[in-house]
Amino acid sequence: MRLVGKTALVTGAATGIGEAIVRRFRDEGAEVIAAGLQPELLAELARQTGARAVHCDVTKESDVRRAVEQAQALGRLNIVVNAAGVIQTDDVAEIEDFVWERTLAVNLTGTMRVCRAAIPQMQCQGGGAIVNIASVAAFNASIGQGSYAPSKAGLVALTRSIANRYGADAIRANCLCPGWVRTPMSEMEMREIGDAKGIGVEAAFDELKTRIALKRIGLPAEMAACALFLVSDDASFVTGAVLVADGGARTAAAARAN
């Protein structure tokens, strides 16, 4: 129960890593505002966990303000986790402007918008913790990540900028960079890869496992555990950090083996 008495805002909360973070934070005693775009999924998550569901499109300032106000109504906003994200396969020579703009609008600008709304509240109350969910694509962009990888690299830089500027206000900001995790988003990617190779989703995941040191795909709950550490008092001297959780997919040994 490491988060008793704390209030957290989690974006991208309807599925995947965001959903797992809501569940873990509630288990640890936090009041949680679960913000996202899928009302039925959010309502069911709220019913199961006791979190408070709120519609939030991070590309809209009014939605972001409303989500932050929901947290403020509980008295404090101690924790923000930005897990909202989108991905679409593209490469630089073929990127369409609307895809590039949408990807950055959600993954990077949307995160900035949430942080911009939350930081003044954290300053007034004497501190807080922010975790931005980026990706290992920020450092090792694969083919087809022409817009996604830059959006996540920018997120790492944004997080470090926040950490440096607002550390004196006792606001910590860290980045969690997952590798392959079994989520609806990764299943969509594996479906595209499988279709190109003439194999199914599970076979595509099996091929992927051979490139990971731990020989398996990560679980959303494992990413939630990483986020819990970063927002907890156990990480009280950790800010501006990048926690890579990819099962060793980008270790030197794994790179040599493939």
Of the candidates 3, 68, 78, 148, the residue annotated as catalytic is 148
Give residue limits of the domains in the chain: 7-179+219-247
Burial 219-236 (b: 16+ CB within 10 A, else e): ebeebbebbbbbbbeebe
Question: Which of 8, 103, 105, 102 is CA-nearest to residue 54?
Answer: 8
139, 250 contact by CB (below 8 A): yes
Walking along the chain (258 residues) 10 residues at a time, the average pLDDT comes out as 97 98 98 97 98 98 97 93 95 95 98 98 97 95 90 98 98 97 89 88 90 95 98 98 95 50
Pairing of strands 128-133, 171-178: parallel
> How many residues can be counted in the chain?
258
Distance of CA 230 to the CA centre of its chain: 13
Q: Does the domain made of 7-179+219-247 have the CATH classification 3.40.50.720? A: yes
Query: In the prediction, which pLDDT does 252 show?
Result: 53
Q: Which residues pair with 171 in a beta bridge?
A: 128
pTM: 0.94
228, 205 contact by CB (below 8 A): no
Does the annotation count 148 as an active-site position? yes
Question: Which of 228, 234, 245 is CA-nearest to residue 81?
Answer: 228
Q: Which residues contact 251 (CB under 8 A, 6 or more apart)?
A: 213
